[in-house]
Amino acid sequence: MPLMSGIIKSCGASRELQAILESAVAGVFPGITMAVATADKLVWTGAAGYADRERNIAMAADHLLGIGSITKTFVAVVTLKLAAEGKLDIDDSIAGLLSRDVVATLPGAGETKVRQLLNHTSGLPSWEFDEAWIRDGRGKTMDPSRIWATTDTLSYLQNTVAEDSVPGTEFSYSNTNHTLLGLIIERVSGNKLVDEIRHRVVEPLGLSDVYLSGFQAVPEDRLACAYHAATEEFLAAAGVNPAFPELAGELIRISGSNWSVEWAAGGLQATAADLARFAAAGIAGWSLGAEGAAILQDFRATGTTGLEVGYGIFRKYCPDLKRSILTHGGDVLGYSASMGWFEGGQIAWSILVNRGTMHSYRDDDRDACRLRDFIEASGVLSTLVEIDRTTS
């Protein structure tokens, strides 16, 4: 049964939210789970569809799913906490914080700064879009049992071309930025990234269901089965791995794999409840202090109307709602995720589905089978606005 508080009951939103989840799985998502939280408590959870469609296992609120690039927000918070402690400065050059071997793999790194990794203005190309990596990391030549080392993805940068921009001037989203932040965190702290995330984020926020795939034990019995959209675009870019069964409806079932290849750029798995709690802590600035909170409010244009980038978070203006949301999404092999909160509001939310779409559609496609488009079309944000008004 869904968890409900007086906040949700008072505005009659529980039935609306559950209906939205049911509509999601009536379409193309095998399963979906969602949570809503305030700064001090979890106020609603819901789930629909299947955690494992072939074995007829229903999705539940305590199932774990991949959160993809929302991992970057966790990494950004850890980085800013280390900066607050004086262990690094976000205006430090990355060349002084990384080993020579790592710096040598970075085309055009020059005097790139930590700040520019955090807000994706480094100009560094993303290993994620190298053709060989797509096949090795998500496609037909992938070894599902391989635990990737933290620097393995950087070897694919030798095939990429540096962005034609001066660091700090233009936004260009790149997984490379957060792989480097993960390495910097480990170098300046002397600890593994997984331990720094636990020590500086998971434990202080009282979270219990956040795991870094490949780098710590994950409760496999609670991990929702992952499915991916095997469209013509995905087949051309990645190809289907022999270990992944092909299913009806342009889906492949991701079996016996791990997400270590994503690491600091997208390797976390969590429940919707813990992700909503993490997002709710962002309303108060993740306890980063006055300086850290000011940094979090430093947004800049991305080149997309209504979308600005900050440090581990985006600000998106929603014209229909006349509100801005602070948000981050994630899309990896087999999973998609979204979290956010209304700017100046009191509630945060997370939505997780066990269907990935990376490499499966053109950038200009808009399709309800992608989570971000479903969220915009489903009415979930307007329902959340009413909850936020009740809370405020």
Contacts of 325 (CB under 8 A, 6+ apart): 315, 316, 318, 340, 341, 342, 343, 381
pLDDT at 162: 61
- Burial of 215: CB neighbours in 10 Å, binned 0-12, 13-18, 19+: buried
- What does the pLDDT look like over 330-360, one tens digit per residue? 999 999 999 999 999 999 999 999 999 999 9
DSSP state of 92: S
Task: Give bridge partners of residue 37 from the DSSP assignment.
Answer: 42, 348
Cβ proximity of 212 and 268 under 8 Å: yes
pLDDT for residue 204 is more than 80 = yes
Confidence of residue 1 (pLDDT cuts 50, 70, 90): very low
pLDDT at 13: 85
Strand order in the sheet with 307-309: 57-58, 42-52, 31-37, 348-353, 335-342, 323-332, 314-318, 307-309, 300-301
pLDDT at 160: 66
pLDDT at 291: 80
The mean per-residue pLDDT over the stretch 215-220 comes to 96
- What does the pLDDT look like over 261-307, one tens digit per residue? 999 999 999 999 999 999 999 999 999 988 877 888 899 999 999 99
Confidence of residue 228 (pLDDT cuts 50, 70, 90): very high
pLDDT at 269: 98
Contacts of 106 (CB under 8 A, 6+ apart): 94, 112, 124, 154, 157, 176, 180
pLDDT at 309: 97
Rounded to 5 degrees, φ, ψ at 228 are -130, 145
- Structural domain of residue 96, as residue ranges? 6-391
Contacts of 146 (CB under 8 A, 6+ apart): 258, 260, 261
132 is a domain residue: yes
Q: What is the CATH number of the domain that holds 360?
A: 3.40.710.10
223 is a domain residue: yes
DSSP state of 42: E
373 is a domain residue: yes
60 is a domain residue: yes
Helix, strand or coil, per DSSP, at residue 235: helix
- Mean pLDDT of all residues belonging to the chain: 92
CA 178 – CA 105 distance, rounded (Å):
15
The mean per-residue pLDDT over the stretch 40-62 comes to 96
pLDDT for residue 11 is more than 60 = no
Confidence of residue 176 (pLDDT cuts 50, 70, 90): very high
pLDDT for residue 75 is more than 70 = yes
Burial per residue of 310-341, b for 16 or more beta-carbon CB atoms within 10 angstroms, e otherwise:
bbbbbbbebeeeebbbbbbbbbbbbbbbbbbb
177 is a domain residue: yes
Return the amino acid letter for 304. T
pLDDT at 292: 79
Confidence of residue 248 (pLDDT cuts 50, 70, 90): confident
Q: At what angle do helices 272-283 and 71-84 cross, to 10 degrees?
A: 40
Task: Give the total number of structural domains in the chain.
Answer: 1
Confidence of residue 106 (pLDDT cuts 50, 70, 90): confident
Burial per residue of 256-284, b for 16 or more beta-carbon CB atoms within 10 angstroms, e otherwise:
ebbbbbbbbbbbbbbbbbbbbbbbbbbbe
The mean per-residue pLDDT over the stretch 72-93 comes to 96
The mean per-residue pLDDT over the stretch 365-388 comes to 85
pLDDT for residue 9 is more than 50 = yes
137 is a domain residue: yes
Share of the chain above pLDDT 70, in %: 93
Confidence of residue 88 (pLDDT cuts 50, 70, 90): very high
1 is a domain residue: no
Cβ proximity of 241 and 142 under 8 Å: yes
The mean per-residue pLDDT over the stretch 247-265 comes to 94
Cβ proximity of 218 and 210 under 8 Å: no
- What does the pLDDT look like over 163-172, one tens digit per residue? 666 787 899 9
DSSP state of 202: I
Helix, strand or coil, per DSSP, at residue 145: coil
280 is a domain residue: yes
Hey, how many other C-beta atoms are within 10 angstroms of the C-beta on 208? 12
Confidence of residue 103 (pLDDT cuts 50, 70, 90): confident
Confidence of residue 364 (pLDDT cuts 50, 70, 90): low
Q: How is residue 176 written in tokens? A: 């490379």
pLDDT for residue 10 is more than 60 = no
pLDDT at 365: 67
